[in-house]
A and B are shown apart, each in its own frame.
Chain A
Amino acid sequence: MAYSKIKLPASASIFILFGFILLSLQLMSSSTQESSELSQMHSWLLVINTLGSITLLALVIVNTYSLVRELNKKAAGSRLTTRMVSLFVLLALAPAAIVFYFSVQFLHQGIDSWFNVEIDRAMDDALELSQSSLTQRMNWHIKQTRQIATQLENKSDTLIALEIGSLWAESGATEIAAFSSQGRVIASSSVNPSDILPHLPDEQIWLQLKQNKEYFAFAPGDSDGMMVRIILPIDRDQNQFLQVLYPVPVRMTDLADSIEFAFIRYQEMTFLRNSLKTSFSLILLLVLLLSLLAAIWVAFISIRNIVAPVKELVKGTKAVAEGDYKQQLPVMSQDDLGFLVESFNQMTKRIARSSDETRAAGLEVENQRAYLETILSNLTAGVISFDASFHIRTANQAAYRILHIPVSHFVSQTLPHLASQHNELAELLEAIQHLLEKADDIWEQRIVFLGPNGRQELLCRGTPLFLQNGNRMGAVVVFDDVTDLIQAQKNAAWGEVARRLAHEIKNPLTPIQLSAERLQHKLAKELEDSSAEFLQRSTRTIVQQVEAMKRMVDDFAEYARPSKKQVERINLIDLIHEMQSLYQPSGITFNSAFASDRVIIEADPVSIRQVLHNLLKNAQEATAAQCQVSIKINKVIKNNAEYAELGIYDNGSGLHTDQIETIFEPYVTTKTKGTGLGLAIVKKIVEEHGGVIWVDTSYNAGAGFVIQLPVFEFGNSQ
């Protein structure tokens, strides 16, 4: 919420507001004076000031409510505003309340001091004295009037008219008149000759006269003076009345008026004593309320204006804490807070610049890291990095490809822990762990182990990593699967051997065979029968052995020569069924379990048939009694490619552990007869078709071979 800038010491509107309040209070104060013309407006001024107080109170309540809501929402700056407003109210209220209390005390004391018992008594005595004086005069005039009435008693109207003039002159009265009970004037005489008619009693006097039969009272005189009016009956029948008006001396009138005025004023003040106190207290309270509420309201506005930059600063700081460094706050004033806001803006600018630079550097580092990661993940060699305590920190995709363990399993684990989870890798991992712990320099070692896909040979290179202070910070191990490379080298070597054998051995065999046959042909006739028979037996043996040697050399040449495949799409299941029907008559019992009846592979059917033939033949030869062969086909996915996994298990004598590593090498056999090339040829064919073959070491009931071949189409499960 933005507030308009306040121009201290106060804005014009605040001056005007306080001006109005002061004017209103002054008018109200003036109106308390009876003599003031404003006294007629006293009630209105009181109402206006009360309404003003209520309005200001409403404003203060609204502001307080708004502040409490902001406080509940924990809005920026609300706590500071509350603290400042509370402090201001406390500081303003305390002295104002004290001043108000003592003002009321002094006011009440002042009013009370106007009155005391002595003045009360003096006033009463003065009035009583005046009344006594007037009463005495009245009594004397009554007595005088009675004498006149007695003189006129029982006289005719004419006589009364004749005598009344002299009686008036003797009495010293202003006017003397005789009239009948019906109000008819009989005679009159006055000090003023111009008064033709006497001052006859009015209706009210007549009323009292009829009730009391006589009347005497002070009455207002002609010229602001006072007179005594006495009316008495002339005769006993009360048919005639005598009215005499006596003047009251001016001095006496003035004194009496003065005393009466003072007495009345004093009595009035006594009566208004409590009203005065309450009225003045009320006015004081209104003055206090108006001033205080106006001050609190202005305090709300002023404090909010003062706190506004702080509020913006709090918001800005919060935004910076949340990572928004581009915060720029408006500079509302040129004071200390303005300087603070400017400093904040400069700070956020610098932070934003530094943040941009850091982000750019981070981006660069990230790019570099991604680049390195890309390189590492695309390396054919597996790379694993370790921390100082030999926990795996990173591992690339090739490590997974070689070791067949998901990369995520590597991170934060030690090699022994990994080995406990993957028994097939235990040998390798323990060897690497041993080397890591032992080596202080770069090391290289070829490690052979029996992995899940058979025998594997890894070439491992390890590099311990050191900090600048010489402490070990970890190590990096790079390893490559050199199984195929070693195998290729071996195959090449065997090919070379085969060529030399063919050249060095096969060539002399023909002359040997021919020579033996010639010896037989030439000497058979010349020798006697027994010698001839021995010669024939010997030459036949030579020829047979030469033939055997020729066949051996041919087989070996065949193994060493690159094959000429006729690749086509064939259903492996059909091929297996064909081989089963071929071998079933020879006494082999088959147990088949195929995941699908349609497993299409792209292969040379003759070569695959030979693979199956060699394996089944081996099984048959390895089994002494009833030969049972289990054939299983499943689909497996490796490196995002589908493979058909063909398992062939027999119930023969099985393989020794030391034979497993070399069983696929040429001239390795467990049989008394045979060239030892059967499994070597099988492996060669399988690998030529992009597949792998290994001995299933988990199978103990005989020999088990697992072949994985790339599949073109694997039908739905049965």
Chain B
Amino acid sequence: MPSLASTFKSYLLICLLLWPTLSVAESFVAQIRHAKLIANDHNFSVQAKIDYELSPTAKEALHKGVPLTWIVRLEIRQIGSFWDSTIYKQALPYQLQFHALLNQYEVLTPNNESEMFLTLNAAFRFMSTPNFTKPIPADLLQTGQHYKLAVKCQFDRESLPVPLRPFSYLDAQWFLSSNWYLWPIQK
């Protein structure tokens, strides 16, 4: 039977979680090292390098069997006078899950293929180079126009178990998404 103190602690937690001010003491966000557009014969491909990081809470959740999902978002934006317009977008979801029996990490690729890794670093290494398989048509970019390549690695909170979701928006331990990485394109 939970004590009165623990009940009070729960209420206090609720209040604290609902409190809008957040304490971000340490950052665990993913970093996009680089991203660039490579011109091929008839299309473009994108190369990117992402460094993933897990907070202690996220690491504990992973080892307790909670699958974690990142969505690597790719956008090509045309620079406008007032605002940019997105002319192309692509999203690649990567799901990382730990298998306690085999003591291996499984990465579910955007193509629904499963890759098993003995270490977490090996899994992250695999995920660090997203495979944008869908080529970008060459005629998408007009000559004389200015474009930006935008890449972001977004941690998908909505794929977490339901009880974790509300708090993942408030707890800095779950702020695992990267910022937008912007790379100018000139054609």
Residues of A within 8 A of B (CB): 31-34, 39-40, 42-43, 46, 104-105, 108-109, 112, 127, 130-131, 134, 202, 204, 207-208, 217-220, 256-257, 259-260, 263-265, 267-268, 270-272, 274-282, 285
Contact = CB atoms under 8 A, between A and B. Distances in A.
A49 to B, nearest CB: 11
Interface string B53-75: 00000001101111000000000
Contact of B65 (A39, A268, A281): A268
A590 to B, nearest CB: 111
A120 to B, nearest CB: 13
Contacts of B11: 281
B118 A217 contact: yes
B84 interface: no
Contacts of B116: 217-220
Contacts of A34: 161-162
B162 A204 contact: no
Task: Specify which of B162, B166, B169 lies most central, judged by the most chain A CB atoms within 10 Å of its CB.
Answer: B162
B163 A276 contact: yes
10 tightest Cβ-Cβ pairs between the two chains A and B: A264-B65, A271-B64, A260-B101, A279-B163, A275-B163, A267-B64, A268-B65, A108-B2, A276-B163, A267-B65
Contact of A275 (B6, B114, B122, B167): B167
B7 to A, nearest CB: 6
A105 B2 contact: yes
B98 to A, nearest CB: 8
B22 interface: no
Given A127-B100, A204-B122, A268-B66, A278 B14 contact: yes
A278 B161 CA distance: 14
Interface of B: 1-2, 6-7, 10-11, 13-14, 17, 60-61, 63-66, 99-104, 114-118, 122, 126, 157-158, 161-167, 169
B7 A259 contact: no
B14 A282 contact: yes
A108 B6 contact: yes
Nearest to B4: A105
Contacts of B164: 272, 275
Contact of B14 (A31, A109, A281): A281
Nearest to A124: B100
A280 B167 CA distance: 12
Given A219-B116, A275-B163, A281-B10, 14 more contacts: A31-B162, A33-B162, A109-B1, A204-B122, A207-B122, A217-B118, A218-B104, A260-B99, A264-B100, A265-B65, A267-B100, A271-B66, A278-B163, A282-B14
Nearest to A257: B101
Contacts of B126: 204
A208 B122 contact: yes
A272 B169 contact: no
A282 B104 CA distance: 35
Contacts of A105: 2, 7
Contacts of B101: 127, 130-131, 134, 256-257, 259-260, 263
Given A272-B163, A278-B13, A260 B100 contact: yes
A646 to B, nearest CB: 105
Nearest to A109: B1
A220 B114 contact: yes
Task: Specify which of B118, B122, B166 lies most central, judged by the most chain A CB atoms within 10 Å of its CB.
Answer: B166
Contacts of A271: 60-61, 64-66
A278 B10 contact: yes
A219 B115 CA distance: 9
20 contacts: A32-B162, A109-B1, A109-B2, A134-B102, A218-B116, A219-B116, A259-B101, A260-B99, A263-B100, A264-B100, A267-B100, A272-B66, A275-B163, A277-B10, A278-B17, A278-B163, A279-B163, A280-B163, A281-B14, A285-B14
A134 B163 CA distance: 34
Nearest to A260: B101
A201 B114 CA distance: 14
A516 to B, nearest CB: 149
Contacts of B14: 278, 281-282, 285
B155 to A, nearest CB: 14
Contact of A104 (B7, B61, B122, B166): B7
Contacts of B118: 208, 217
B166 to A, nearest CB: 6
Contacts of A264: 64-65, 100
Contacts of B7: 104-105, 108
Contacts of A220: 114, 116
Contacts of B158: 40, 43
Contacts of B6: 108
B69 to A, nearest CB: 13
Contacts of B102: 134, 217-218, 260
Task: Specify which of B6, B64, B114 lies most central, judged by the most chain A CB atoms within 10 Å of its CB.
Answer: B64
B165 A272 contact: no
Nearest to A38: B162
B63 to A, nearest CB: 8
B165 A42 contact: yes
Given A108-B6, A208-B118, A268 B104 contact: no
Contacts of B166: 42-43, 46, 279, 282
A271 B99 CA distance: 16
A105 B3 CA distance: 9
A452 B100 CA distance: 134
B168 to A, nearest CB: 9
Task: Specify which of B66, B161, B167, B169 lies most central, judged by the most chain A CB atoms within 10 Å of its CB.
Answer: B161
A267 B6 CA distance: 22
A268 to B, nearest CB: 4
Contacts of A31: 162
Task: Specify which of B2, B11, B61, B63 lies most central, judged by the most chain A CB atoms within 10 Å of its CB.
Answer: B2
B19 to A, nearest CB: 13
Nearest to B97: A264
Nearest to B14: A282
A81 B126 CA distance: 69
Contacts of B104: 217-218
A127 B100 CA distance: 8
A33 B162 CA distance: 7
A43 B122 contact: no
Nearest to B62: A271
Contacts of A108: 2, 6-7, 10
Nearest to B117: A204
A21 B177 CA distance: 34
B72 to A, nearest CB: 19
A217 B157 CA distance: 32
Contacts of B100: 127, 260, 263-264, 267
Contacts of B10: 104, 108, 274, 277-278, 281
